[in-house]
Structure 1
Amino acid sequence: MADLPPEQPDSTDENKAVPVPAPQLLVMPPNDAIPSMVWPGTEGETAWAIPVQIPSGTRGYALFVPMVAAPASVPAVEKPVVKPPVTTPKPAENTTPKPPPAVIPQRPAPQRPAPQSPPYAARPFGRYEPAPSPWQAFRKKNWPAPKEAQGWAVPAGVLAGALGFLIFLPLDRVGIGWFLGWLALTLGVGFAVHKSPDLPRRERLIRAGWAAAALALMLIPAFRNAWWLVTFSVLGAIGCTALAIVGGRQVRSILFSLIAAPYAAFAGIPWVRRHLKASPNPGIARRAFFSVALTVVVLLVFGALLSSADVAFSQLLDDVIPDFAIGSVFQWIFLAVAGGLLAVSGIYTLTAPPKTSSLDTEGRGRFGLIEWAPAGAALVLLFGGFVAVQFTVLFGGSRHVLKTAGLSYSQYARSGFWQLVAVTLLSLALIAALARWAKRDQPIERLLLRVLLGLLCALSVVIVASALSRMWEYQRVYSFTGERIFVMASEMLLGVIFVLIAVAGIKWQGRWIPATTVGLAVLMLLGLAALDPEGYVASRNAARYAGSGKIDAWYLRALSADATPALTKLPDPVRRCTLSWIAEDLKEPDPWYAWNLGRVQARQALKELGPGAIGNQKDCKSADQFDLPKTRR
């Protein structure tokens, strides 16, 4: 902004210096013909300037236009107002001359003050720009859009993801196609972004590790059929894919990746479309479409002729090509769109990855020693008393419980498991809050906080062990189920997290705990898949039936094909009942993209058993005598 010239005194008043209007500078966008701006003031007033801020990265040239002073306003001239005469009844004619009409002088209108300048940068044309939202400010600073690029690598990666889901992914039942579709998506995204220089080598290895974890979880539907295990595996694979795309190492950035990945899938569509428009060969899309259409026509015509000529070849085509129906068309469209959007999210984000480190800020100490120490110490004393009782139960056994509580050991085991799970989760949240917001500026604060958190972690591990022992005893008395095994595995994971927190508290270095927890959850799911939980449940229930003569046949017949080899070892009529639903589900063969090891083993076991050993609903009615009571007592 140019400096103002020195003020010159007015000739009308020698004692008062009146400034003379001076040219002012205004930043404007580039234009060939810019008119001069009228100075928003009057002559004789003090000159003023408009502050202008140019944001970094603004395109264009800074042009400076002089302000032209506006002419001084001239006061209005007084005009006489003629008052109309009052009409009265005419008297007799009088020769006296009439007086002149009365004139009422008008006061001049008061002048309004000059408009004040706005407190923000003014624009000569258009309206003022609105302030950016927090999301827009974050994107501009930490997640800028990727640069425009030409080439066919990006569209090819999106096409690979769409075709991978369309060809391989089965929605009617689990199989190897889930892994193959995810593998095609991963390879397509990796091919499109393999030359991206925005990620350092260490970060690339971490992202590749999350992608490998997602593929490992997607292998579970190729080996197991338990609905709950497959569901958690697919959800875990989606979460690992989000971490591979966006990144994240702490709680905030990990949660941000779950939101940013779906957002990038839609935000990147215009960017991918511009790659098609900017291609050096604009006719390639039209030629590719023509090639695909011609290939489909050729395969339909000659495939129909050859299948009608040979029965064996027709059967092969029926196994390879899925059944065509109107609903299948919508299913194919959905799969292609889902695969394409996931590929867009991965390519768009990995080309210009966000700075997730800006989200993972260190917590500031808000609570002093007098605020958090009494509550923490009281909780430690409460946990200590509970743990002392648990040690007497664990080492005293069922006799101690029967003597003190008047309950059976199985009733005692069932009574407080979910309460202990809630205590474990609340303890974990409390420890995380103390580690983030408790002040530790003084050495005494750090020492007390370290001791308090260590005691809480140790006592929480004992509570986890108590909950696990209760659940194990409950299943031993009643029956094993896949869901209870999953709950036990989750409780064991919480116990490991407490151990990790205790280790991190030694040197106050716990930034690695959230990502490590996600990795341990992946290992937990892979371990459950290796255990074959429903096969294990079926074998334990068969052993229990051989020893006590009690079995829950209605629950066992609802298990997946994973339990079939163990159920074939049961005697009649329990075996005929438990295999009725599974045999009905396995009548139709699976297409190649739905191959599953559990179903292959189940069909083999049923084939060795023979159709006469498989029952129906009547056999289950005769097996009611072997069921446990529906109300657990």
Structure 2
Amino acid sequence: MSEETAVTPLTDAPIAIDPPHNSESEFPSKEIAQRTLTGLRILAAALVVGLLGDLLLRTLPWGINLALWITVLLGAGLWLAGWGNFLVTPESRWCAAVVLLGAGAVAWRASPTLVGLNLLTLIVALGLLIYFRLRAGLNKTGVAEVALIWTQFALLTAVNPLILLFSRIKWKSLPRTGVSRTAMSVARGLLIALPLLLIFALLLMAADAAFALLMNNLIDLDLGSLVGHIFLTFVFTWLGAGLLMQIIIPPSEIAGHNILRGPGAMTLGPIEISLILGLLDLLFLIFVAVQFGYFFGGLHFLSTNETWLQAEYARRGFFELVTVAMLALPMLLLMHWSLDGEKKNAARARGIYRVLAGLMIVLLYVIMASALLRMNLYVARYGLTEKRLYTTAFMGWLAIIFAWFSATVLRNRQERFLVGTLVAALVIIMGLNGLNPDAFIVRVNADREGRTAQSFDSRYVTTLSADAVPQSIQVMPSMSTQNRRILACTILTAWPEDAPPAGWRTWNWSRFRAHQLVDRNREALESYHCKM
């Protein structure tokens, strides 16, 4: 018997080499295909829900339109649940009925309070519907558990679309031929590029009237209305995807997804990179071309052209252009993170990205130079404020960051980028501390009054901190009588002679110095017809 037991494993051993390899390799592929197909159906249903949301719910106040949209949403959920052969509990059916009842009540009554209560009923019932989709026992659920249920419901509604796009749907597992692969890449590139183009185009049009006129002549569309439709469609599609995923996919399965970089996650190849960055570079290039007249003509161009006023040019654009540069940075970082990692596409995609991102950074420097020119004109005409100074400093930080981006990310040294950005931020912040912004604002505005006969805004200076007091006292003799009186009265009110000591816990150098200077110059301040 001992010999037989020893021989048995030897005779059975070859069976272990048989094809279980195939069965194991086929099972994951079938599971991936099933999950991807479910995800694509959810995405298609969410797009329909999003388009109907824009069509129905953009008009306020809500009435029958909300009931119709909720009915479509639940119908899509039932269709997906029926297709996937998922269980639907009696509790979830009752909750669905309450959701429809709440939506119908919004179309029934017009009282704002009742409408709010009906919407609350709808939202709570929707969360419970999703929770009890695969569970029973509504009568055994406590208040604390309901609160946790709804918190999970809200969080998953916000996060689920990311899971759907970047983890649930395995884009690389979709069967493709050469033509279909190219067509899908073009479609994805345009789908990402068009919203970005609209956002940046609207910012640039708001920044410059000449560019806005050019774009309106080139594109006979109401871009504001178009962006509104796209935004609402996006919001309702996102909401629909978040809700439908919870109806179809169990939370335990959702928790296993990695939205950062799971296998099969959506990446950007050479075609997508070329479309997205190429179209944005073209838009920025057109804007830069419009700016050439300002750069080379300067104030003479603005003053001699009848359609332009220096004040109009100075007033428009600075903050919009800074916003353009600010949004471009995370976009470039996100696109670099999304580059295709496949060997056959990686080198080509990175090469295209490096060229087009480098061109964009050059154009962004020109755009920031335009913003700086506008700020100089704005300060010369209207004076310097904290908002203008700190925004200019922020733009200076962006200029440093883009240079560091070129030296690190574009040269495949992205691991050094974060440290450089933090060091640059520290340098800028410490530089501002050394500059003393409030005192600098007083000095610039006082010099501006002396050079250009522009009025000094003493009332704005009175809103500044103790940092501005020494500089204010220094420039006060050169001010007009009215400005001296306003400023002196404000300083004496803020720093009275009989003020009790604040104590060592709140000691601050600027406040201490301001107090000393006010006491030392109290007679002179009171002589400006401001007896306290």
From the two aligned structures, give the one with the greater helix fraction: 2
TM-score (norm 2): 0.46
The structure whose Rg is larger is 1
TM-score (norm 1): 0.39
